Amino acid sequence: MMWRPLTSAIALMLAFSPALRAEEGTASPSLLSAQPMREQAPSATGATPQDQTTAVTPPPASAPSTAAETAPTVKLDAPKEAPKKGKVAQKAPAPKPHEAAVSLDPEPTLQPGTSAATQAAAEKYTAIAEAGGWPRIAVELRETANGPDVLALRQRLAIEGDLDRDALDGDSFDDVLTQAVKSFQLRMGLKPTGIVTGATLSAINVPAETRARQLAASALRIATTTFSFAPRHVVVNIPSASVEAVENGQVVHRYTAIVGDVAHQSPQVSARIQEVNLNPTWTLPTSIIKNEVIPKMQKDPAYLSRAKIRILDGRGNEIDPRSIDWTTQKAANYTLRQDPGASNSLGYIRINMPNKEAVYLHDTPGKRPFGDDYRFLSHGCVRVQGVYDLAQWLLEGTKGPGGDWTVKDMRAKVDTKERTDIKLEKQVPVIWVYLTGWASAEGTVHFRDDVYGLDKDAQPEPTALPSPDMVAR
């Protein structure tokens, strides 16, 4: 089916493109790619490569900033179901190329004006949808391509402002169009390859109605949020699977993260970071005891011993696992606690942020998933790549062994194998949000996949949203 003419939609684009325009630019592939990681020896400063997270700094005036995060519009590398009984397992397909990117944009995802800006963007995208939306791109496209599909791509990108209206004409895939595709990719959290394929092709074909709904739902979720935007604070955007350290209104560090899976969703919560715990123990939640530990103990009685998990009664006395009937749920009446160490599920660092949901940020012994595009894998807490670096930033101004705490100081404490709790001299506000669509103060509009399905019941009409003065505070 031919896509219908774009007269109305392009008229809207001419009016809205300055507000919707994404900034163009590329970032170093070495900084955008999140590769699987291994433990490495500390450098002279005490930081391993995984701790040396890239600082996000504003680009020079001649180099427009980027606007990508980490989670693509398509669920990439999502866990596959095991083959059903009686069926022969097929050979696993070749892994998809990593398409997600880590942003170098100094603009925080959440700012005091994000709710109002996102609501305004929802109104504009609703108008675009009502005017006919945008054309569907049926084939993969790259440089050297030409023909009507390239012309449709130009029209598609111009409607959101990634391509200037002066470049609408032409059916060849030139350098200007390549930069427009990169601009679009950065707003979607994808590597700026300039090629329309895979996740980029999927994202470009998401209907305008869906984008309007994402923006409306996201604006609604944060419209009544109360949050103190202190000079130093932390923002976790769950759909982006990323953590931002914000200082004086700019992102100074952005970290790749692993967040809750669909069955164990990371909650939207705000709190204050009070402590950094080195060599933490991990107390297993009752749900994990019932759903995971008991079945494992039925199959492997040595599981707890091997995992260095001890069973404690109400008085703190250790209980022999052999004294418990693992065919029942009685184990859930005890405290199961994992000892500190390399195999501890929290890794070597827990960032304590007391809250009613009992969630926190932490290290992990399993670094490999940080290199995946699909990072919705935890039981609700957020695992942070480069957590030593984040901890050092949080502890600025907190006295350590030789001044402010450093990565080297923390590693030295970890090597003692003793639990060490470091209270922050000044607590740092932290907020976890679920933004699948949001707009910056300049009007750049970003989108991420609605992995938890929270947008589906939202009303796309902007009139359903609170008034613009009801912004996050």
pLDDT in tens, the chain (473 residues): 334 434 444 444 444 443 343 333 333 322 223 333 333 333 333 434 344 344 454 444 333 333 333 333 333 334 433 444 444 444 545 556 689 888 888 999 999 999 999 999 999 999 999 999 999 999 999 999 999 999 999 999 999 999 999 999 989 999 999 999 999 999 999 999 999 999 999 999 999 999 999 999 999 999 988 898 999 999 999 999 999 999 999 999 999 999 999 999 999 999 999 999 999 999 998 989 999 999 999 999 999 999 999 999 999 999 999 999 999 999 999 999 999 998 899 999 999 999 999 999 999 999 999 999 999 999 999 999 999 999 999 999 999 998 899 999 999 999 999 999 999 999 999 999 999 999 998 899 999 999 999 998 755 443 333 333 333 32
Give the number of domains in the chain.
Answer: 1
Q: Are 211 and 437 in contact (CB under 8 A)?
A: yes
Residue 305 maps to a domain = yes
Element (H, E) at 30: helix 29-32
pLDDT of residue 442: 87
Range of the domain at 293: 282-339
pLDDT of residue 264: 94
What is the token pair recorded at 347?
């890794």
Question: At CB < 8 A and 24+ separation, what contacts does 51-54 make?
Answer: 51/386, 51/387, 51/388, 51/389, 51/392, 51/407, 52/386, 52/389, 53/253, 53/254, 53/255, 53/385, 53/386, 53/389, 53/390, 54/102, 54/104, 54/253, 54/254
Instruction: Decide: helix, strand or coil at residue 351.
Output: strand
269-278/420-433 β-pairing: antiparallel
pLDDT of residue 459: 52
Residue 138 maps to a domain = no
Residue 331 maps to a domain = yes
pLDDT of residue 168: 92
Strand-pairing partners, residue 232, are: 247
Q: Could you give the CA distance from residue 266 to residue 268 in angstroms, rounded to a whole number?
A: 7
Strand-pairing partners, residue 276, are: 351, 422
Residue 313 maps to a domain = yes
> The whole model's pTM is what?
0.77
The candidate with the shortest Cα–Cα distance to 261, out of 379, 407, 167, 423, is 379
Residue 301 maps to a domain = yes
Query: In angstroms, what CA-CA distances link 256 with 33, 95, 376?
Result: 10, 20, 12
State pLDDT tens for residues 361-419.
999 999 999 999 999 999 999 999 999 999 999 999 999 998 899 999 999 999 999 99
Residue 141 maps to a domain = no
Residue 404 maps to a domain = no
Helices marked H in 300-337: 303-306
